Structure 1
Amino acid sequence: MKIIRCLALTAAMAFSAAAPADENVTMYPTKPVRVIVPFPPGGGVDVIARTVSQQLGPRLGQTFIVDNRPGASGNIGVRAAINSAPDGYTLLLFATVAGMFPLIHANLGYDPFADMAPISSIATQPLALFTTNSFPAQSVADLVRLARETPGKYAFAGIGVGSPQHMAGELLMYRTGVRLLHVPYKGTAPAITDLISGQTQFAFLGLSSGLPFVKSGKLKVLAVASKKRSELAPDLQTMEEAGVANFDLGITYFMAAPPGTPPAILKKLNAEIGAVLKEPAVIEILQKQGYEVTGSSAEHVLELLREENRKWAPIVKAAGIKVE
């Protein structure tokens, strides 16, 4: 009888200890949730964050507040997020390119594989190869041929060292053996301005960022850097179709929380984000911004981060890229 009573008491104590946690998860959120975006306001990533946040608020009965924290290749915002309390009230919207950062940043300050608790992917934006109108290349093959004939003559614009736009140019050199010059910029706008004026000859840009300038006759676009053709420009061939194999450079954005956030909260957020991403209005807004809506499991996000690391390791080593 004593044993039975002891077991019953132990079970009751365990239940009473677990009940508040379960109740907290069921009631979550009970106050506003902050979504940190390590990019400036007004850009495409900011639109993703605000579109999803505006839908999550009514679904969960609390306000989701977007907090822009740009700077240091996203590190300022990331560190602010991952060092917050792991209670589900601070989230992070970032890109899977973070999986590459340990390869190039000597003092990154965080581990993208351990210091983030992935929730779900949100959307992917394909990069595309844009050139200035004065550049004689009419195809990717033309560009590669010209670069081989005059090594080091032609320059491409990147959005900072180690950015997807920079690494796309490095990948082109790695895959084709050509030698190009990288000109880093602090943002997409100045990069496009100099590209149009001919200060640089080409750039890998988000498809939606460059297409308006193609339509206005200020730029040319040669190919999209993704596995398949984009719905935004279905007639535009892929880099692989243009003759450069293994050139998939889609930037996938995902939602995460600080490490140690209760799994039940992560699961709840994953389900709610998945529902939001099925809303026709959300799909329409993101597609107009040039994004392909995704949504996924947390495990898939982690695998995407690891894949970025595997994919870029040989390119970073060959190019000797390092940011102190």
Structure 2
Amino acid sequence: MRRRHFLSATASLMAALPSAEAWAWPDQPIKIVVPFTPGTGPDIIARFIDDRLSPKLGQPIVVENVAGASGNIGTQQVARAKPDGYTLLSQVSTLVMNASLFKNLPYDPVADFAPIGLTALGSLVLVSHPGQVPATLAELEAAARAAPKILTYGSPGVGTPHHLSMALVETTMAIELVHVPYKGTAGALQDLLGGQINYMFLPIHVAAQHVRGGKLKAIAAGSQRRLAQLPDVPTLSESGLKGIDVDMWYGFFAPKGTPADLIDRLNRDIGAVLETPDARRVFEAQGLIPVTSTPQALGEIVAHDRDRWADVVSKRGIQAG
């Protein structure tokens, strides 16, 4: 009996000890892959964390931009990397959107990655030209039901969060609008300001300046709560789409199989960086809010959103260009 208790206690102690990798980690530079161009949200977040995490870990951290194929090239690179804590991924919610938009995707957003934690949220706002008569979500719904496929909305391209957010609104309301895709935000915004298109989801830091200047009208905030920049604008949920939000989330990932103790350490150290006043100041200038989460919570968000956006893509018949 005593031997059995001794063996059980020893096994429990061994399970609680860090892995061999954790004892030595990090003893070489760490790479953060950003699967988008410099200046994008995942890039800004990665470089902010890089500057403040490197001294804490005592090793250089290199941010590598591997852009292309809507983020799929860099993401695949991390999915195939050695799971040793030396290759990380800074991603955004397009990670799960792409799973439905692209056939034969060379990675699985759930099966091929170990979530580390959330890093930020980015809110979108549904806006219209000030002269647009349907000026509330209820009025938009009524007008679209009376005359389907007349009202238009723009986006930076097919399959972008801006596009899928409006497609979710269409699906939930069972209405038909006309999607006008552009090659980037600039052209779409210009036509929205000029009244050539009727509606669009825009990032809060872009939308707020034009709303305050009277050049655009804010219809609904795409977040779970009202936004500090536009406190009088109701959320989608408050406007009748109960439980609906289109916040873009950002997070860090490692290749599947990375030891759990390394994931937990990265989660704690990155979280400490994100909880500083400096993080809020830098992120808010880019329309982002720094947030943290457990690895498990991010994993649940990834699984849930993969199914949510797959449903929208399927029902709207959306195909990536």
What TM-score, normalized by structure 2, do the two folds share? 0.88
Give 4+ residue runs of structure 1 displaced > 4 Å after superposition.
Answer: none
What TM-score, normalized by structure 1, do the two folds share? 0.87
Task: Give the structure 2 partner of residue 119 of structure 1.
Answer: 116
- 3-state SS of the aligned residue for 1:266? helix
Question: Contact (CA 8 Å) 1:232, 1:290: kept in 2 or not?
Answer: no
Task: Give the structure 2 partner of residue 197 of structure 1.
Answer: 194
Task: Give the structure 2 partner of residue 35 of structure 1.
Answer: 32
Question: Contact (CA 8 Å) 2:117, 2:294: kept in 1 or not?
Answer: yes
Q: Which AA in structure 2 matches 1:155?
A: T
Q: Deviations over 1:9-59 (max 9, x none)?
A: xx9xxx9xxx9963x423422232221112221233322221122111121
Aligned partners of 1:20 and 1:176: how far apart in 2? 51
Aligned partners of 2:64 and 2:190: how far apart in 1? 28
Aligned partners of 2:239 and 2:172: how far apart in 1? 13
Kindly tell me: are residues 202 and 257 of structure 1, through their superposed partners in 2, closer, same or farther at Cα, counting changes over 3 Å? Answer: same
Q: Which AA in structure 2 matches 1:70?
A: A
Count the aligned residue pairs.
Answer: 311
Deviation at 1:309, TM superposition (A): 2.4
Aligned partners of 1:298 and 1:89: how far apart in 2? 17
| Residues 1:82 and 2:82 aligned together | no
Kindly tell me: are residues 194 and 72 of structure 1, through their superposed partners in 2, closer, same or farther at Cα, counting changes over 3 Å? Answer: farther
Q: Which AA in structure 2 matches 1:246?
A: G
Kindly tell me: are residues 105 and 150 of structure 1, through their superposed partners in 2, closer, same or farther at Cα, counting changes over 3 Å? Answer: same
Aligned partners of 1:199 and 1:109: how far apart in 2? 38
Task: Give the structure 1 partner of residue 164 of structure 2.
Answer: 167
- 3-state SS of the aligned residue for 2:256? coil
Q: Which AA in structure 2 matches 1:210?
A: A
Question: Contact (CA 8 Å) 2:34, 2:67: kept in 1 or not?
Answer: yes
| Residues 1:105 and 2:102 aligned together | yes
Aligned partners of 2:213 and 2:275: how far apart in 1? 33
Instruction: Give the root-mean-square deviation of aligned CA atoms.
Output: 2.6
Q: Which AA in structure 2 matches 1:176?
A: M
Task: Give the structure 2 partner of residue 292 of structure 1.
Answer: 289
Deviation at 1:160, TM superposition (A): 2.5
- 3-state SS of the aligned residue for 2:249? strand
Task: Give the structure 1 partner of residue 302 of structure 2.
Answer: 305
Kindly tell me: are residues 320 and 30 of structure 1, through their superposed partners in 2, closer, same or farther at Cα, counting changes over 3 Å? Answer: same
Q: Deviations over 1:234-291 (max 9, x none)?
A: 2221012122323211111110012222222212111101111111111221123222
Residue from 253, 258, 263 that aligns with 1:261: 258
Q: Which AA in structure 2 matches 1:256?
A: F
Aligned partners of 1:151 and 1:112: how far apart in 2? 35
Question: Contact (CA 8 Å) 1:106, 1:322: kept in 2 or not?
Answer: no
Aligned partners of 1:29 and 1:208: how far apart in 2? 37
Question: Contact (CA 8 Å) 1:97, 1:305: kept in 2 or not?
Answer: no
Q: Which AA in structure 2 matches 1:171?
A: L
Kindly tell me: are residues 215 and 32 of structure 1, through their superposed partners in 2, closer, same or farther at Cα, counting changes over 3 Å? Answer: farther
Aligned partners of 2:105 and 2:96: how far apart in 1? 11
Q: Which AA in structure 2 matches 1:206?
A: P
Q: Deviations over 1:129-161 (max 9, x none)?
A: 011233223222222233233221222112322
Deviation at 1:216, TM superposition (A): 3.1
Aligned partners of 1:125 and 1:20: how far apart in 2? 35
Aligned partners of 1:72 and 1:118: how far apart in 2? 22
Question: Contact (CA 8 Å) 1:127, 1:226: kept in 2 or not?
Answer: yes
Unpaired runs of 5+ residues, structure 2, are: 1-9
Question: Contact (CA 8 Å) 1:129, 1:223: kept in 2 or not?
Answer: yes
- 3-state SS of the aligned residue for 2:237? coil
Q: Which AA in structure 2 matches 1:154?
A: L
Question: Contact (CA 8 Å) 2:96, 2:309: kept in 1 or not?
Answer: no
Task: Give the structure 2 partner of residue 152 of structure 1.
Answer: 149
Percent identity of equivalent pairs = 36
| Residues 1:180 and 2:177 aligned together | yes
Question: Contact (CA 8 Å) 2:33, 2:63: kept in 1 or not?
Answer: yes
- 3-state SS of the aligned residue for 1:256? strand
- 3-state SS of the aligned residue for 1:92? strand
Question: Contact (CA 8 Å) 2:42, 2:92: kept in 1 or not?
Answer: no
Question: Contact (CA 8 Å) 1:152, 1:179: kept in 2 or not?
Answer: yes
Q: Which AA in structure 2 matches 1:307?
A: H
TM alignment of 1:29-68, pairs within 5 A: 29-68=26-65
Residue from 209, 225, 228 that aligns with 2:222: 225
